[in-house]
Amino acid sequence: MTEAPRVGTAQLMELLSVSLGVYYGDFTVAAASENLTASQGKALTVLRRGGPAAMRALAETMTCDASNMTGIIDRLEKRGLVRREAGASDRRVKYVILTAEGERVTDAIRAKMRTTQEGLDRLNEQDRDALYTLLERVFVTLPAA
């Protein structure tokens, strides 16, 4: 009896690249439907997931320059999707907070990601649980020191 060939790291990386490309394309189209750039949509998504964030921390999370982050937040603030507040302990630190309208737009973007939704809907409950566990293990959980 022959064993199935093992999947190598390079193959996994390639499939992950394709998967992320589909997800990012789906996200970009959904953000554009709300008159947002992908970067603006990503900022809203990061805030929706993690709550208020200092401008510098938000720039680091999004791996962009702080001056670019300022422009992104300026445009989101003009639309009423976020607001800035000075930090309680250090008034020089500005925190970005998602508004109720920002939450609504973020949820609308996710709801419009049809390709991603349809792909995930094809998984049964056991496969969803397994995928969640694997993605969390690979990208979220840090190995014990």
5-55 residue pLDDT tens = 788 899 999 999 999 999 999 999 999 999 999 999 999 999 999 899 999
Strands 94-98 and 82-86: antiparallel
Q: What is the pTM of this model?
A: 0.84
State how far the alpha carbon of 52 is from the alpha carbons of 1, 21, 86, 126, in Å. Answer: 56, 28, 11, 34
Residue in 91, 92, 96 with CA at minimum distance from that of residue 50:
96
